[in-house]
Structure 1
Amino acid sequence: MMEPIHKYFRLGTLSWMSFPTDRYDPVDAVRHIARDGDLDAVEITDYKDPEVKKQIRHILTQSHLSVAYGAQPVILGENLNPNSLDEPERRMAQERLLEAMEDAKSFGASGFSFMAGAWCEDGKEEALLQLKKTARALCSRGSSLGMAVELEVFDFDLDKKVLIGPAPLAARFAAEMRQVTNNFGLLADLSHFPTTYEDSAFAVRAMRPYLTHFHIGNAVVTPEKDAYGDKHPRFGYPHGANDVGELYDFFAVLRQEGFFNSRNPIMLSAEVTPRPGEEAEIVLANTKRVINRAWSVL
C-alpha cells in the first residue's frame, strides 16, 4: 500500500518478549523502544522493583507512545487460573489481576490484556462461567479506570493449553460478555493461529465483532523441531509457520473486514523473541522488515 501502516494501526511491540527479562534490563528495553521512531506503542507488564517502575513511567511520559499492559506473564509466572473450578483459587487469581490493573493505570495504559486458565474438557461450561466472573470483575474495575479489558486467544491443546481457546469459543464467550459490558474485547495473535489449527481468514472472521487488539508473530508447530510450541521465534525461523506471505494474508483479511480505521487505529504489536544466541535488536529489525514487505505488496 502507498499509505503508511501507521495510518491504520498503532504499531508496537511487547517489551518483555522483544527484550526478554532474563537477558535484558526492563528499563533499557522500554528506553530502546521509546527511542524507536518506527514504533507507536509499547506493551509492558509487571515489574516488582519500585525503582524500575518509576524509571519506566518517566520514560513513557516523554515518549508519546500508546501503552498497553499485558498480565499474561503474571498469570503464567504465578500459575494463576482465572477460570478455576475451585472458587477460592479463582478469586485469588481475580484479586491478583485487579491489583495488576491498578499498576497498569499507573503507567498510563489504555488497555489491559489477560488470558484464560487451564483448558477443562470435563466441566468446560462451568469453567466458562468461572472465567466470566473474573472477566466481569476486571471489566467493572476497568470501566472505572477508563481502561479496555482484552482476553488473548491461545492454544487449547498444544502448548499453553488454556480455555480460550479456539476462535469460535472465544467469539461465543465475547458475545456473552458484550451483553453485560462494553469495554471487553478479544486480542488475536497471528502466531497463535497455527497452534489452534486455524488461519487468518477463519479466525478473524469468527471473532470479527469483538476484536480490539492484534499481535503478530511466528510459531513452529512441527513436533520435535526447535522452538516448537508457543515460543514466538522470529519471522523466517526454520520450520516456522508464518512469514511475509502469512502476514500479507493477515493484513488482507483485516482490510476486507474493515479494521483499517484511520480515526481510531487499533494497536498491532509484534510478539517475537530472540532465541538463544540471537540479538534482540536484530530480531526486532527483522520483524519491521517483514511488516514493511507484507504491507508494501498489500
Structure 2
Amino acid sequence: MSNQFYPGAHIAELFFPLSNNENSVLQVIQKIVAGGYYRGFETGIIHQPEIAKSIRELAEQNKMHVTQWLTFELLKDNLNLGSLDKMLRETSIKRACELVHLAAECGTSKLSLVSGSDPGAARREEAKEGFAEALIRIGEVVNQYPGMLMQVEPLDRFAHKRQLIGPTGETVTWMTRLRADCPHLYLAWDSAHVALNEEDLAESLRLAAPLISQLHLANAILDPQAQGYGDYHMKFGEPGFLTDATAAHIVATAKDLPLPPELGEISIAVEMRTTADDDLWDNESQCRAFLQRALAAAQ
C-alpha cells in the first residue's frame, strides 16, 4: 500500500521577512487556508494569545495540520539543547518546555526542533546524551497535549550547519533507542541536509522511514568549491541538486516505504527562504507548482 502525502506551506521560510510580525503571519495563514490547496502549514512560535487562538480555530475549522519550529526562538537567545555546558542546557530545556505550552495554544500537532552544534568526535556521545535528556524532559510536557508529537530535524554535520544530530544511520540508531523514554519522537527529513552529508537520498529515506513524520524538499549547492555551498534555503533547481526529477524521485521513493502507520498521511513542503526584495506570493506560487509537479510525477 502506498503512503499518502498532504501538501504543506512552510510559511516561516516562504514568508520569512514577515516572521516577526504575528499579525502578518496570521494574514498569510488566512490566505493560505482560503487558497484551498495546502492542508498544513509551518510557522515559528506565536506569542500573542489572540493570534494563537485565531490560528487554532482556523486550523480546526479547515482540518489543517499545524507544525511549529522552536529553532528561531532558541537561536534568538543563543540557547542550545545539546550544549555540553550544563547550565546553558538547563536554561535551554526550561525555555523549550515553556514554548511547548505556547505551541499548544495554536493547536500545534508537530513541535519541531534541531539539536545544536556538534562539539566534535571526542565529545559527541556526551553531547548526544545531554540532548537525549533534553528531549525526554520536553517530551514529558508534549505528552500533556494529546495529538502533539515532537520531531527532530537532522542537519548537516560537516558542510555548513555542523550540527550534533546529522547523518541518517547514526541518527536512526540513536533515536530508536531514545524512543523507549520518548515515545512521541519522530524525524523531520530534509533533502538538503541529507545531500550535504553526502548521503544517497533514497537510502536515507529507507533508513529513516519508520521514524519520518514529514518531508522537506530543500535545495543546496553541493560542490564545496562553488559559491553558495551549504544550506541557504535556496530556490529549487540548478545550480542546486533539487531539480523536478530529484523531487519526484524523493516522493516516489517515500511513497512505498514503511512510514509510521499511526501518523496516517505525512506532510511534504518546499523549504525556500525569501528576502524583503522578493515578491513573496509569487515565490509561494512557484513553490506550490514545484510541489504539485513532484507529487504528480510520483504517482
CA distance, structure 1, for counterparts of residue 144 and residue 187 of structure 2: 20
Sequence identity (%): 22
**SS of the counterpart of 1:198?**
coil
The answer for the alignment partner of 1:10 in structure 2 is: 6
Deviations 1:207-226 (A, max 9, x none): 22221222122122345756
CA distance, structure 2, for counterparts of residue 38 and residue 261 of structure 1: 24
The answer for the alignment partner of 2:92 in structure 1 is: 93
The letter of the residue matching 2:250 is F
**SS of the counterpart of 1:185?**
strand
CA distance, structure 1, for counterparts of residue 131 and residue 260 of structure 2: 31
Kept in 2, the 8 Å contact 1:112–1:149? The answer is yes
Kept in 2, the 8 Å contact 1:225–1:239? The answer is no
- Say if 2:108 is the partner of 1:109: yes
Superposition pairs of residues 202-217 of structure 1, within 5 angstroms? 202-217=203-218
Deviation at 1:270, TM superposition (A): 2.3
The answer for the alignment partner of 1:26 in structure 2 is: 25
Deviation at 1:62, TM superposition (A): 4.2
Kept in 2, the 8 Å contact 1:221–1:229? The answer is yes
Deviation at 1:277, TM superposition (A): 3.3
The answer for the alignment partner of 2:233 in structure 1 is: 232
Range with greater deviation from structure 2 (129-138 or 151-160): 151-160
The letter of the residue matching 2:101 is E
The answer for the alignment partner of 2:155 in structure 1 is: 154
CA distance, structure 2, for counterparts of residue 96 and residue 260 of structure 1: 29
Gaps of 5+ in 1: none
CA distance, structure 1, for counterparts of residue 226 and residue 47 of structure 2: 34
The answer for the alignment partner of 2:118 in structure 1 is: 119
The letter of the residue matching 2:221 is V
Cα distance 1:159–1:263, how it changes in 2: closer, same or farther (>3 A)?
closer
Kept in 2, the 8 Å contact 1:235–1:286? The answer is no
Cα distance 1:261–1:293, how it changes in 2: closer, same or farther (>3 A)?
farther
Cα distance 1:216–1:85, how it changes in 2: closer, same or farther (>3 A)?
same
Aligned residues: 292
Superposition pairs of residues 123-272 of structure 1, within 5 angstroms? 123-146=123-146, 147-223=148-224, 227-236=228-237, 238-259=238-259, 264-272=264-272
The answer for the alignment partner of 2:71 in structure 1 is: 72
Deviations 1:205-252 (A, max 9, x none): 22222212221221223457565422212212x411202111111012
TM-score normalized by the length of structure 1: 0.88
**SS of the counterpart of 1:82?**
coil
Cα distance 1:205–1:240, how it changes in 2: closer, same or farther (>3 A)?
same
Q: Please list every run of at least 4 consecutive aligned residues from structure 1 whose deviation after the TM superposition is greater than 6 angstroms.
A: 260-263
CA distance, structure 1, for counterparts of residue 218 and residue 248 of structure 2: 12
